[in-house]
Amino acid sequence: MKAKIIGTILPTILGILTVLGLLVVFNLIVHNGDAFNSPDNGFFKIFIPIATVIALTIQFSLTLPFWNKFKSKKKVWGLTLFQFIALLCIISGLIFGLVFWEPNFGIKEFFLVFLTGIVAFTVYWTVNLLTLKKIDRL
C-alpha cells in the first residue's frame, strides 16, 4: 500500500511542479511579467489545485494500472508505451487548446494554445513516468 501511495503522489506532484515551473518561466520570458502578480494569478490559485486533484485521481485509477500492464506486456491495445503517451499528449493538448482557446483571437491562438498543451502534457508525462520507473527500480 505504501508503494501505491508513493507511486500516486510523488510522480504527480513532480510532474505538476515541473510544468508549473516551465509556465512561470514562459510567462516571465514571453510576456515579460510576474506570473504571481499578473491577471493570470487566478490560474495559479484556482486551476493548479483542481488540476492536482484531477491528476492524483487519474494517477491512482488509470496510470498505475496501465503502468503495470506496460511493465508486464510491453504493448497494450497494440501500442508501445511511447506510442500510447504520444497519442495521449496529442489528444490532451487538443482538449487543452479547445478549453483555453479564445475564439475571438483566431485560429492562430488556438494553434499556439494547442502546442502549449502538447508541450505541457509531454513534460508532465515524461517526468511522471521517469519517476515511476525510478520508484520501481528502488
DSSP characters over the chain: -HHHHHHHHHHHHHHHHHHHHHHHHHHHHHS-S-TTTSTTHHIIIIIHHHHHHHHHHHIIIIIHHHHHHHHHHS-BTTB-HHHHHHHHHHHHHHHHHHHH--GGG-HHHHHHHHHHHHHHHHHHHHHHHHHHHHHHH-
pLDDT the model gives residue 35: 58
pLDDT at 134 over 80: yes
- Extents of the domains making up the chain: 2-137
Summarize pLDDT for 101-123 with one digit per residue, the tens. Answer: 888 888 888 888 899 889 989 99
pLDDT the model gives residue 37: 61
pLDDT the model gives residue 18: 92
pTM, whole model, 2 decimals?
0.82
